[in-house]
Structures are given as C-alpha cells and as structure tokens.
Amino acid sequence: MIGKINPQYIAITLIVLFTSLLSLWKSNHCRLNNFSSPDRYTHICYSDFPALFSSRALDTGSNPYSDPATAMEYPVGTGYIAATVARFSDSFLNFFDINALLIIFLFLVTTFLIFQINSKLWYLFPLAPAVISSLFINWDIWAILPMVASLYYLKKGGYHLAGLFLGISIAIKFFSLALALPIFIYFLMEKNRSGVKFFITTFITVVGANIYTAIYYYQGWLKFFQFNSDRGVDFGSIWYGIELIFSLEFGPKLNLLSIFLTLASLIIYYYFLLKKYLKVPERDHYHFEILLLSSFATLMIIFSLNKVYSPQYVLWLSVLATLVLRKNERFWFWLWQVGEGIYHLAIWQYLAAFEGGSGLSEGLYALSIVIRIALSAVFVIAITRARLTLPSPTG
C-alpha cells in the first residue's frame, strides 16, 4: 500500500511548476520571434542558449573545447552539459526547449533540497521574481543543485558526498569555489577532522572532471581562464556604474583593484563575524547557520566587486539567502528582491539600446546598479547582525 504523500511535497511541485511555466511564458515571445534583437531585450527574455548554439559550434557535434576559436568560455562541466544537450537538438529553438525542460526538473530538485534544510521558508526561492526572470538565461542551476546538495550532506555528516557534490558544482561553475573558506571555518569551529576527507574528495572531483580536457584540448580548456582574466569592466558591475557616472576608464589595472578590494572586504567581514561569533554561546546547528550566512555573504561580496554582474547570478544568491533566512527576516529578502527586480528591468532595456531599441539612459542604468548593490549590502548587514545576536529558532 502506498503511503500518504507529504502535502508540502505537493505544494513544492505545484509552486515550482507554476513559476517555471510563468518563466516559459515570459520567454515565449522571444521564442516565437527566434530570439531576435532588440525583442529579446525589450521583452526581457534573453537566453544564452540560442545565442551560443551556433557561435560555439555546439550544432556541429564536436568537442566543445576542441577549437580554441569557438571553445566554450565556461568550465568543463558547463561545456559538456551544453554539448550533450546539443546532440539531441536540431535547431537553436529545439536547443532552448530541451535546456528549459531540464532546468525545470533541476529547479524542482533544488527546491526539494532547500526544503530539507529550511522547511519553513523554502518557497522564497521559487517565488522570487528575480529567480523567475533569470531561470532560462544560462546553465547556472546545474551548478547550484550540487552546491545545495553539498550543504545538505554537510549538515547530515556525509562528508565524502558533500565533497563530491561541491566538486561537481565547481566543475560546472567556479562560483561555488567561494564556499571553500566558510566550509573550512565551519570544520574548524566544529573541531571536526573530517574536513580533510571533504576537501580531498572535492579536489579529486574537480581534477578528475578537468584532467582529460586540460590534457587533450589545453588551449580550449584554457579559454575560460583567459577570458575571465582579460575581461574588462562589464555590464552590471559597480565598476561599470562608476565609469558611467564619473566618465572614468579603469583599464587593465581593474583586475588587481577588484581582487584587492574583494579580499579586503572578505577579511573585514570575517574579522567582525568571527569576533562576534566566538562570543555567542554554542547552540544546536549554530555552526551550520553561520556556515550558511558566511557562504551567502562571501558570494554577495564577490558578486558586488566582480568585473561583471550577469542577471542570472541572482539565482546563486537567492538559493543561499533562502537557506539562511528565518521567518522574521523575510522583509529584508523582499527588499533585496526589489533591488534585483529594478536591476533586471534596467539591464535589458539598457542593452536594447545597443541593438536598435529605444533603450534606457546611462544615468538610469547606473542608478539601478547602485540601488542593487546598496540593498544587497543592507540585506547582508541585517541578517549578519540578527544571526549574531538573536537565539536560534525552536520547533
């Protein structure tokens, strides 16, 4: 006899399917018009999938890193996922459709995992407007799912599986590498020597995923690293906003400036976090709460000072924010989502001007960047203060 299905599982499935269909409906105008410009920007339905299908030779069925000229500018996990999907696609529209269906499935599984970690506020992730808007832009959800799985197994004490999943996530998108520092601190606070097996498993997984491509298609494999190193000031970054407002040009020195300010900001944040954290009486799962908080703050700092802020980056932040939040902190989440929503509207209208659309002025676009980063800072500060002063919730 089949047991009763948890009503919350039904709710998760229905909400995820509803928001996924809403995101697909938003993309439908672009699909019907072959993702042409400036429609893909003015109707807020741009996607990298149709844009990269031919330009990265995914339609040829060749290895995505075999030709340096058309090699994917992403880690190997993303490149091989894209190439595998392309083998079942006979057009860029079909490529979009298959990717979208797979993303909906991953979106659902990710939300189920979020529920296992934060059963009270799981719904924030699938209902976040910026998440719905960004779902089908790129392959980020492929890396976000194993990142959340890694955090889940860390909480459960499955350190080999946690390390395996973090390694898979890093092999797909390097952003999850940012979790290495907060996880290292977590193991120190727990006085848990299993951190050694966790990091060894993570390292072996990342090396195993990269070694074949690095040996046989070295120049194509290297493109991801060269692209990010050579990349200048780009859309969405605080640096792009400063250039627009003050008519500046940072030039090649931006790499060092961005890295220096990111490291300085992380050092300052962790100094104050640990200074307070070590004085708070230990509570059940408190170390794991701080792990989630510091993971979210670390990624927020990196994204805020990076050379580019792509709209789909909000998926990473929304996942970690949902994991770390308590019920009395929902206001800060939605306030932050307002900032992200303003930016999402602004970036696409601003890009439309480059493709012959009416577009958005440079001043208003720069203002949207400032608003997004300001509300991001408010959000991080608010939940950090709350986590270091309020008792953990019970029940």
* pLDDT for the residue numbered 356: 80
Regions in the chain scoring below 70 on pLDDT:
1-3, 280-284, 390-395
**Contact indicator for 196, 184 with CB cutoff of 8 Å:** no
Q: CA 101, CA 4: separation in Å to the nearest integer?
A: 28
pLDDT of residue 82: 98
Going by C-beta distance under 8 Å and a sequence separation of 6 or more, which residues neighbour residue 334? Answer: none
State the distance between the two ends of the chain, measured CA to CA, in whole angstroms: 31
| CA separation, residue 142 to residues 61, 199, 315, 316 (Å) | 21, 21, 11, 11
DSSP state of 355: G
Residue 214 in any domain: the answer is yes
Q: Is residue 341 part of a domain?
A: yes
Written as six digits, the tokens of 229 are 């190193």
Task: Determine the pLDDT at residue 214.
Answer: 98
Give me Rg for the CA atoms of the chain. 21
d(CA 341, CA 308): 17
Compute CA distances 326 → 7, 37, 90, 117, 120, whole Å: 22, 42, 46, 12, 8
3-state secondary structure of 19: helix
Structural domain span for residue 140: 7-389
For 140-186, the pLDDT digits (tens) are: 999 999 999 999 999 999 999 999 999 999 999 999 999 999 999 99
CA distance 369 to 257: 19
Residue 362 within any structural domain of the chain: yes
By percentage, how much of the chain surpasses pLDDT 70?
Answer: 96
Q: In Å, what is the CA distance from 74 to each residue of 14, 37, 71, 336?
A: 32, 24, 9, 28
Measured distance CA(216)–CA(66) in Å, rounded: 8
Whole-model pTM: value is: 0.95
User: Is 180 part of a structural domain of the chain?
Assistant: yes
Overall number of domains in the chain: 1
Residue 361 lies in a domain: yes
158: buried, middle or exposed (CB in 10 Å: 19+, 13-18, 0-12)?
middle
Residue 241 inside a domain? The answer is yes
pLDDT given at position 279:
72
List the structure tokens of 146.
């194993």
Q: Please give the pLDDT value at position 252.
A: 83
Q: Evaluate whether 391 touches 275 at the Cβ level (below 8 Å).
A: no
Which pLDDT score, from 0 to 100, does residue 281 have?
64
Average pLDDT, the chain: 94
Assess if residue 11 is contained within a domain. Answer: yes
- State how far the Cα of 134 lies from the Cα of 117, in Å rounded to an integer: 23
Query: Rounded to whole angstroms, how far apart are CA atoms 173 and 163?
Result: 15
Residue 2 counted as domain residue: no
